[in-house]
Amino acid sequence: MSTLPIDLAQPGAGQTIRDQLDARGIDVTSVVNSAGFANLGPFHDAELPDLMTEIAVDVNAVVEISHAFMPRLRQRGDGFLLNVASMAAYQGNPTMAIYGAAKAFVLSFTEALWHEARDTGLRVLVLSPGATDTEFFDVAGDRADGGSRRMSPTAVVTTALSALERRNPPPSVIPGRSNRLSEVFGRVLGRRRAAEMVGSLMNRTAARRP
């Protein structure tokens, strides 16, 4: 297995990846957009270049890579496009405002692509995990989990693959029963209370983990 190192924060990353794979004679059958990171802390305290890099990786790169490969995936009609959002997509996220907004974009964007790809054979899915035990926290810091229990990457991937294997895959899926209940609970609470609840969790976690 070989890797192709690309800076996803740079404009044109999707086209660069496609061109380099073409040069190597690699036929892409499916695409997973899972790269992403978060800046943790109040929005007004963050450095603007850091926030713009976060948007470039979490939003722009997803759009560029999806656009670069979508025509071929639709033509093949037997693969999938999987974009990774987050439970952060479902409400405002105090101390991770850009990350939550970026993942809300990924959720809405991918659900739209799911509808556009119907009847082509291409399966489009957005995966919205909660806190997962990955390198994400090496950048965002341990406090970014809001004190929630982290799922294993294996459990998250298994949920995605199970959804893709359905005869009629849904546009989106949330791994973990507690995460699914949290999404429903957030809708019942309303957007104001949901944002307040997340803010309180993040503040309590910050107080416990210096």
* Model confidence pLDDT, tens digit, residues 56-113: 999 999 999 999 999 999 999 999 999 999 999 999 999 999 999 999 999 999 999 9
* Phi, psi of 209, deg, nearest 5: -120, 95
- pLDDT for residue 188 is more than 80: yes
Instruction: Please tell me the predicted confidence (pLDDT) of residue 172.
Output: 97
Q: Where are the beta strands (DSSP E) in 38-185?
A: 80-84, 123-127, 172-173
pTM: 0.93
For 124, other C-beta atoms within 10 Å of its C-beta total: 27
Partner residues linked to 32 by β-bridges: 82
Instruction: Please tell me the predicted confidence (pLDDT) of residue 209.
Output: 52
More confident residue, 18 or 200: 18
Model confidence over 99-148: pLDDT tens digits? 999 999 999 999 999 999 999 999 999 999 999 999 999 988 888 888 88
Amino acid at 155: A
Instruction: Please tell me the predicted confidence (pLDDT) of residue 74.
Output: 96
Instruction: Please tell me the predicted confidence (pLDDT) of residue 79.
Output: 96
Largest CA-CA distance found in the chain, in angstroms, rounded: 52
CA 111, CA 77: separation in Å to the nearest integer? Answer: 18
CA 133, CA 160: separation in Å to the nearest integer? Answer: 16
- pLDDT for residue 17 is more than 60: yes
Assigned token pair, 6: 């690309």
Instruction: Please tell me the predicted confidence (pLDDT) of residue 120.
Output: 96
Instruction: Please tell me the predicted confidence (pLDDT) of residue 208.
Output: 62
Domains of the chain: 13-208 (3.40.50.720)
What residues are labeled active site? 99
Instruction: Please tell me the predicted confidence (pLDDT) of residue 61.
Output: 98
